[in-house]
Amino acid sequence: MKFDLQREWQRFHRLCSLPNARTRTRLTFASGALFSGVLVLRFMPGAGAFMPRMTLNAELTRSTGLVRQSIIDLYRIQRSQQVAAPAEPAAEASATPATTASETAAAPPPSAPVAPPTSAPVAATTIDDVLEMRVAIARNVSTLTVGINSGGVVMNTSGQGYCELPSQGSVVVRPTAQGLQAGNCQLSTAAWVEAPDGYVYVGDSWFKGRVLLLNNGGQLLAVNYVILREYLSSVVGSEMYPDWPLEALKAQAIAARSYALTHHVRPASDYFDLDNTQRFQAYKGVGVETNMTQAAVAATLGEFISYKGGIVESLYAASDQIVQEAHGGQGMSQHGAKDHALRGYGYQQILSVYYPGTSLSRLVVE
């Protein structure tokens, strides 16, 4: 059956709302009271015209952490000056539930709650709205169907050469001896797919952010560069049922954020921080976001699990039994978190059950 991206977009559009366009006036990373080892960077977008010309080469792609973050923000401005695209209007919000793991045994009894973070006011801008995660959404495949919901381009990372993408149209991308072929258009070995204020379609899902396509040794690798807040809203909906109690979803949001931050600092690959499977964290794009998953992330903005000033790699699984088998008993039971929430425990109490001896910290942006 012929692939019809317009039909896919119309189906998807009924489920999800377009995000409001956001602008950032300053990018400043600052540490919270219990967060250590953070590089402080300042970047003024207004100064972009005075910055030297930059290209995303192999060294930049392989760099890690906040140094990489500052460079790719500069490069984003360069690309936006080269290719301008109109924004999409906002639409009505709705969403569908996601799937989760198997049933679990009852959780252990609760212990004392974690003290609330005091390093920054709740209203402060946090790392969620500035940090861009690199998530592999397709690995070692021979072809990929790629599209966007509004007109745009697939552009070489050098900024030289691009292929037009019609609104709600798609192309099949495949690796070649020269680089990448997108429909009838030839590109280099690495290219960006972007939909300003819209969504990118890769494989069989819609994603926020932008996507880097790479010819990786004759196979395709697709990496979603997505703001942490938007990434977590999907992870929560991919890992838990969105109609579960909000306190359980909040606990999941914090565990997922801590896990993501750990792998931002210690990436899984030269090219991505983590992938979209349960090997790391399930991430299914925008189709599993709901008002509840977004609310869980918004209520815990910037909060992560901390131990002695560092970030805890917060492991979790569906049940106590799987936590025991997979992680030696160290980690959160998702069904156990749900059961605790149904008994009236807050997310701080839930986290204190599964990560004893830890505290919560918040990473804020100045």
User: What's the predicted TM-score (pTM) here?
Assistant: 0.71
Q: Give the CA distances from residue 289 to residues 11, 149, 207, 292, 341, in Å, rounded to whole numbers and listed in that order.
A: 15, 18, 11, 8, 21
Query: Measuring CA to CA, which residue among 120, 125, 117 is closest to residue 28?
Result: 125
Give the 3-state secondary structure of residue 281.
coil
State how far the Cα of 355 lies from the Cα of 263, in Å rounded to an integer.
18
One pLDDT digit (tens) per residue for the chain, 366 residues:
444 555 555 554 444 433 332 322 222 222 332 333 332 222 223 222 222 233 334 444 444 444 444 445 555 555 555 544 444 443 333 333 333 333 333 334 333 334 334 333 345 688 999 899 999 999 999 999 998 887 778 888 887 888 888 777 788 999 999 899 998 889 999 999 987 768 999 988 999 999 999 999 999 999 999 999 999 999 999 999 999 999 999 999 999 999 999 999 889 988 999 989 888 999 999 999 999 999 999 999 999 999 988 898 888 888 888 888 878 878 999 999 999 999 999 999 999 999 999 999 999 877
Burial of residue 51 (number of CB atoms within 10 Å: 0-12, 13-18, 19+) = middle
Q: What pairing do the DSSP bridges indicate for beta strands 205-207 and 316-317?
A: unpaired
Structure tokens at 170: 């798609």
